[in-house]
């Protein structure tokens, strides 16, 4: 039995990079929501661009998760 260590390392590196990217995008979405909430509490109204950016970031995270599930579940392929 032979194990391709290079391929295993590549899979681990890509998994780590995608995980860090998804967490960073999600954190930026939470930051956008917090800033929008802060603007509303100060009486400046809602921050529509902040809400839009947060929503797009959350949709991007959901798309990555859905794609991962698509790759894992054999019935979808």
| Nearest to 60, CA basis, from 13, 28, 35, 33 | 28
Give mean pLDDT, residues 41-57.
82
Confidence of residue 39 (pLDDT cuts 50, 70, 90): confident
Residue 40: per-residue pLDDT: 78
Q: How far apart are CA 77 and CA 65, in angstroms?
A: 16
Q: How many helices (H) and strands (E) does the chain have?
A: 2, 0
* pTM higher than the cut 0.85: no
């Amino acid at each position: 039995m032979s194990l391709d260590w290079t391929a295993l390392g590549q899979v681990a590196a890509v998994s780590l990079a995608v995980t860090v990217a998804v967490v960073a995008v999600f954190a930026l979405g939470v930051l956008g929501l917090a800033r929008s909430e802060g603007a509303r509490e100060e009486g400046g109204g809602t921050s529509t661009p902040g809400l839009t950016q947060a929503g797009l970031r959350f949709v991007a995270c959901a798309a990555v998760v859905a794609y991962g599930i698509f790759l894992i579940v054999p019935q979808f392929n």
